[in-house]
């Protein structure tokens, strides 16, 4: 960032001081006409920086190198640094304006010596922050067993940061010019103060509508179109099932070509009866898998009814265990979750799921929450409607599961702890997003003294939380009778901890003792921490199992705790973990 700061020393005419006033005057700047300037003069002014803004940019740029939840590459760090610097610049300009308002004075020209001091401090502080940042990233990679390191992207970090900073700064100044133009025209009909206020409101509303409406909607639509084409494909190595126990197979009410990419992966794979028997050393059944894709029916309710009808046809309600699985956006079901359920259930199980979007999980997480909510509720209600009408001694044990946005959708079918306890035999949610209604209720009302990364709710009578079920599930030794509800959540999972409130308020989980895979040096910084965790989201599954948003082997002990199957030893669970998540050579 230092070279960019050096571009703005005061010129002989003292113009940087006037530019400082322009940047910070807010609505007041609309009260008088702008001085006439040539085209080259406007270009020079658009590239100038103010001294208070540069100090703010330097401070937040340096703080952006502090550790967050996951290891960051150089390009990603540059993006975070640039965004943080732009925010810091704006805060510096605003702070200077507020201070001048209280001091009741105009902006003064920044002296050449002031710029020289800034330049020296920028070189020293940014260099130190960059060095400490590399050390912290090394420590995080060590905690997670990540060996990848790209020197070139690390070197590119400052340049990416400078580019992002300038783009955001120029965008902000473009909005300011638009405001001034609008305010100048409004003064023909209303007073100057009212024109200033109305101008800011209109520009802010216009910017928000463009970002949230035009740009975001366009991006989502383009992505939706791209992934809808992928949905017509079949994963490599997956073939149409020959078993009548699978949707898309012989006699199925759901045609194979309507299942979608993830639906075909779900029904066309999975452990067979011989494979399950080889693990359990006893006779096993072929599991039932029912699924409905977006092309199966026109709306969510119809898809849920079709999936349940196919489940009924395949004999899913005659099995000992029945799992309602809420998918992520594109219809993805984590094989580790269902495969483990089938192994521990001796194959005497059935699973039903449906697709509600074409979008990948991380994008669905941001824009498809309502679809996930509807899918989770409609599917469970359709299953429960059939299940509840069966004689009590002929009903399968009814379980619910979901990962990430799937846990959000799965929760929406229930009103709270007692509803989960009364209508299910057990629930397993992995990586719940921070906005999950029940997750937030259980976490926010946790027992006094229990940490947010592993809360205890109502002494653990029904709902419990763990980051690693192999090491025990708190509160250990306390009764856990009847229905068991278990949340798997890693301390380093940004999906679990991301929230808009991170921008302005410190959450409990940062102020508490960190989890086993989070650096003790992580601390909350206004605005910066929000962008750090936001940038972690798309890369949350790019870390080894047991960290971030990657839950594989944890399903073995998680389902073992929830299902309470008989006949499995700790050694059996070790073997199953190797099946679900084969060790790397």
Contacts of 571 (CB under 8 A, 6+ apart): none
pLDDT digit string (tens) for 76-134? 999 999 999 999 999 999 999 898 888 878 878 788 999 999 999 999 999 999 999 99
Q: Hey, where are the domains in the chain?
A: 48-175+498-539, 240-493+546-580
Q: Which residues pair with 408 in a beta bridge?
A: none
Closest CA to 113 of 10, 262, 263, 218: 10
**What CA–CA distance (Å, rounded) separates 494 from 497?**
5
Closest CA to 354 of 400, 300, 312: 300
The answer to whether 517 touches 144, Cβ cutoff 8 Å, is yes
Closest CA to 254 of 298, 318, 309, 319: 309
pTM: 0.85
**What CA–CA distance (Å, rounded) separates 168 from 16?**
20
**What CA–CA distance (Å, rounded) separates 78 from 165?**
10
The answer to whether 355 touches 330, Cβ cutoff 8 Å, is yes
The answer to whether 127 touches 158, Cβ cutoff 8 Å, is no
What pLDDT is attached to residue 205? 79
What pLDDT is attached to residue 23? 44
**What CA–CA distance (Å, rounded) separates 533 from 11?**
40
Buried b (16+ CB within 10 A) or exposed e, 87-115: bbbbbbbbebbeebeeeeeebebbeeeeb
Task: Tell me how far apart the terminal alpha carbons of the chain are, to the nearest angstrom.
Answer: 43
Report which DSSP code applies to 33. Answer: P
**What CA–CA distance (Å, rounded) separates 54 from 269?**
57
Q: Give mean pLDDT in consecutive 10-residue pieces for the chain, a chain of 585 residues.
A: 41 40 40 44 62 94 95 93 94 90 81 93 96 94 86 92 93 85 85 82 78 64 70 90 96 96 95 96 96 94 96 97 92 95 97 88 70 92 97 96 94 96 97 94 96 96 95 91 96 94 93 89 92 90 92 96 94 96 77
Q: What is the 3 state secondary structure string of 151-166?
A: HHHHHHHHHHHHHHHH
């Amino acid at each position: 960032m230092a070279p960019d700061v050096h571009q703005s020393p005061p010129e002989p005419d003292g113009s940087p001081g006037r530019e400082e006033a322009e940047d910070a005057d807010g609505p007041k700047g609309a009260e008088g006409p702008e001085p006439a300037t040539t085209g080259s003069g406007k270009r020079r002014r658009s590239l100038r920086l103010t001294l208070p803004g540069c100090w703010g940019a330097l401070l937040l740029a340096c703080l952006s190198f502090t550790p967050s939840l996951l290891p960051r590459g150089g390009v990603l760090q540059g993006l975070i640094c640039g965004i943080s610097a732009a925010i810091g610049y704006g805060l510096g300009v605003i702070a200077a304006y507020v201070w001048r308002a209280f001091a009741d004075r105009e902006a003064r020209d920044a002296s050449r010596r002031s710029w020289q001091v800034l330049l020296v401090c920028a070189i020293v502080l940014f260099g130190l922050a960059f060095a400490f940042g590399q050390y912290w990233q090394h420590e995080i990679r060590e905690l997670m067993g990540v060996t990848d390191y790209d020197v070139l992207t690390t070197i590119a970090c400052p340049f990416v940061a400078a580019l992002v900073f300038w783009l955001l700064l120029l965008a902000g100044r473009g909005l300011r010019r638009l405001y001034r133009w609008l305010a100048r025209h409004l003064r023909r009909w209303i007073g100057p103060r009212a024109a200033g206020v109305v101008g800011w409101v209109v520009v802010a509303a216009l910017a928000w509508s463009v970002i949230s409406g035009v740009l975001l909607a366009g991006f989502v639509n383009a992505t939706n179109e791209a992934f809808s084409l992928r949905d017509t494909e079949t994963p490599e190595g997956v073939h149409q099932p020959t078993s009548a126990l699978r949707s898309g197979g012989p006699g199925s009410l759901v045609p194979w070509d309507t299942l979608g990419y993830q639906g075909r992966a779900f029904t066309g794979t999975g452990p067979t009866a011989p494979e399950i028997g080889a693990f359990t050393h006893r006779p096993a059944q072929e599991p039932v898998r029912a699924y409905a894709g977006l092309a199966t029916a026109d709306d969510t309710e119809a898809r849920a009814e079709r999936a349940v009808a196919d489940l009924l046809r395949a004999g899913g309600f005659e099995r000992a265990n029945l799992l309602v699985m809420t998918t992520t956006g594109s219809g993805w079901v984590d094989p580790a979750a269902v495969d483990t359920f089938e192994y521990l259930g001796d194959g005497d199980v059935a699973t039903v799921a449906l697709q509600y979007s074409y979008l990948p999980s991380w994008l669905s997480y941001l824009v498809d929450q309502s679809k996930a909510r509807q899918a989770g509720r409609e599917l469970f209600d359709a299953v429960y409607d059939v299940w509840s009408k069966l004689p009590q001694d002929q009903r399968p044990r009814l379980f619910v599961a979901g990962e990430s946005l799937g846990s959000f959708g799965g929760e929406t079918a229930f009103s709270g702890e007692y509803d989960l306890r009364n209508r299910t035999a057990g629930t397993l949610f992995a990586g719940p997003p921070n906005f999950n209604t029940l997750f937030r209720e259980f976490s926010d009302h946790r027992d006094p003294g229990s940490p947010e990364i592993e809360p205890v709710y109502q002494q653990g009578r029904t709902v419990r939380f763990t980051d690693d079920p192999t090491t025990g599930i708190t509160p250990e030794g306390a009764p856990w009778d009847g229905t068991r509800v278990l949340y798997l959540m890693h301390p380093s999972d940004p999906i679990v901890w991301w929230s808009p409130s991170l921008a302005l308020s410190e959450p409990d989980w940062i102020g508490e003792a960190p989890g086993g895979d989070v650096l003790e040096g992580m601390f909350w910084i206004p605005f910066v921490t929000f962008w750090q965790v936001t940038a972690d989201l798309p890369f949350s599954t790019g870390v080894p199992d047991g960290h971030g948003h990657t839950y594989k082997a944890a399903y073995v002990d998680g389902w073992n705790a929830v299902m309470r199957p008989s006949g499995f030893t700790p050694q059996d669970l070790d073997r199953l973990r190797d099946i679900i998540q084969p060790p790397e050579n």
